[in-house]
Structure 1
Amino acid sequence: MITIYDWFGYELPIKERYQLIKKVGFDGVLLWWSEGFGRNYYRDAPQIVREAGLFIENIHTPVQNQNHLWLDNLDGESLTDCYLQCVADCAEFEIPTMVVHLPSEDNPYNTLGLNRIKRIAEKAEQLGINVAFENLRNLANLAYVLKQVDSLRIGFCYDCGHHYHYYPDDDLLSMYGSRLMALHLHDIGGSYSQHQLPFDGPINWAAAMKKIAEKNYSGATAIEAMNWDYKHLSAEKFLQEAFERAKRLEALRLYNP
């Protein structure tokens, strides 16, 4: 299975966006799940996605206030409530997994934040939803949460681009691959130093996909590239290129000796 983050760039009518994703060959999408960045239609997206013949692999929860999770104030409680609502939304819309950003390294973990995550884990267990914490510049917080919260519903979203951008010398898949629940695959470099199409930057994709395969991950090969450095391409051409790169990654993952 091959999927792509639904908001890869370009101003497109929402139905056309998903129809194009399906047309070029993708099986499914990763959905942005908030009104942030002007996406006030997000709760309508699941039906439109499925009408286009695609499946929904996961949702990405809001990121604008991610550092609030450890705060002992109303902002911290509000963000916790947001994540709890996302768990409920996944159950309502029959979406198996949600991806969450933990606070950055400048915002060290604490007991209050851990207890909030345990509340999220409890609701996820009740409703049968996976909560995958993504690696960014947050390795100490990620390590702490995955060590302290022993739940089959709490796991790891491996972002290959963030890995090689922030912590290239750490073997994140050896550390946390046993709890892998989702992938975000993109290359580093370009205007924003990340979110390029795979094979356009320095990542050794044969090695990366072999490592993922060794963890017996059975989910989709998921692309999280943006059009930032590809605006000379039409939306359809960009998607075609992304799909071809994804097929190469899928082959490396499934047939890498």
Structure 2
Amino acid sequence: MKYSMFSWFGYFMPFEERIDVIKEAGFDEVMISWEDECGPYYLEKEKFPDIVRSKGLGITNIHAPFIGYNDIWEKGPAETRALLDTFVSFVRDCHIFEIPTVVVHTNDLDLGPYKWENGLAFFSELAEAGEKYSVNIAVENVSRPFLLKGLLDAIHADHFGMCYDSSHDYMLPCGRGRILEAYKDRIKALHLSDNDLRIDRHWIPGEGKIPFGEVMSEILSTGVDFISYEVIANDEWKKREPLDFCHAVRNSLDLNNNNF
């Protein structure tokens, strides 16, 4: 089993130093956000892969920036062509940098009037790019899970599937394991974190109320060979060292110790 952690976990440090801490905590891979890091430690995204691999770590996936997701549904294909081209460029980047998966969202928080056909057309073309470049398109369950369900039902490309986010799932009364149970065979990425069943806290598994025994049973039944965390240190954790936090994350769902 490979263990992976998102490269941003709440401590303001240069990218390379964060990767060093993740490595020292015992992780095998990292997930990275595919956009330049800004001040005070500017770094171009194209430099991320070499830095990560120079530490002996793999790259689980990249996360596309949070740009224009509502437009996908609220505007027609002609109006979102430039946005689609941008997302296809992320898929192409994965191919160039030998990264297996790109994570995208379906929508932003406040979705306005929309047409299903708009979103289906957009993600269908994105799925075609995934097949062309042999890159997984992992669509994350966010605030409108019915959109993701519809896409998974409509698009059956080999490289098109779901990024399962446990915190997003369990903060919604209509979620709480349902989408995982129904579409676990479509998992292409994982964002595992805990919460209080109300807000997307990004806590370490075990710090909140999500029943990770049930969640992990469903995930592991698929035969996935990775466990990946999208966690962010809260104010209490930030009083301690980043390595302490990353160690706690690494140990939270350790299969060898059955910590869930």
- TM-score between both structures, scaled by the size of structure 1: 0.89
Partner residue in 2 for 1:206? 213
Q: Which SS does the other structure have where 2:171 is aligned? A: helix
Deviations along 1:181-207, whole A, 9 cap, x unmatched? Answer: 111110013995420111000111111
Change (3 A) 1:74 1:87: same
Comparing 1-10 and 100-109, the one that deviates more = 100-109
Q: Which SS does the other structure have where 2:31 is aligned? A: strand
Distance 1:74 1:36 in 2: 31
Identity of aligned residues (%): 30
Q: Which SS does the other structure have where 1:188 is aligned? A: coil
Partner residue in 2 for 1:129? 135
Distance 2:126 2:60 in 1: 20
Distance 2:151 2:249 in 1: 33
Q: Which SS does the other structure have where 2:239 is aligned? A: coil
Partner residue in 2 for 1:93? 97
Distance 2:38 2:149 in 1: 29
Distance 2:151 2:57 in 1: 32
Partner residue in 2 for 1:184? 191
Q: Which SS does the other structure have where 2:163 is aligned? A: strand
Deviations along 1:150-173, whole A, 9 cap, x unmatched? Answer: 111110111111100123445112
Comparing 84-93 and 171-180, the one that deviates more = 171-180
Comparing 29-38 and 120-129, the one that deviates more = 29-38
CA drift at 1:73: 7.3
Aligned residue identity for 1:244: N
Distance 1:193 1:5 in 2: 16
CA drift at 1:223: 0.9
Partner residue in 2 for 1:106? 111
Distance 1:29 1:40 in 2: 17
Aligned residue identity for 1:21: I
Structure (1/2) with the larger helix percentage: 1
Distance 2:102 2:194 in 1: 22
Size of the alignment, in residue pairs? 252
Comparing 21-30 and 232-241, the one that deviates more = 232-241
Change (3 A) 1:192 1:227: farther
Which structure 2 residue ranges, 5 or more long, are not aligned? Answer: none
Change (3 A) 1:154 1:16: same
Partner residue in 2 for 1:84? 88
1:14-25 alignment, distance < 5 Å = 14-25=15-26
Query: Does the 8 A contact of 2:91 with 2:135 survive in 1?
Result: yes
Change (3 A) 1:139 1:187: same
Aligned residue identity for 1:100: V
Comparing 167-176 and 119-128, the one that deviates more = 167-176
CA drift at 1:60: 0.5
Comparing 157-166 and 183-192, the one that deviates more = 183-192
Question: Which of the numbers 223, 227, 238 marks the counterpart of 1:221?
Answer: 227
Change (3 A) 1:237 1:170: closer
CA drift at 1:58: 0.5
Query: Does the 8 A contact of 1:30 with 1:56 survive in 2?
Result: yes
Distance 1:3 1:77 in 2: 33
Question: Which of the numbers 149, 158, 179 marks the counterpart of 1:152?
Answer: 158
Which structure 1 residue ranges, 5 or more long, are not aligned? Answer: none
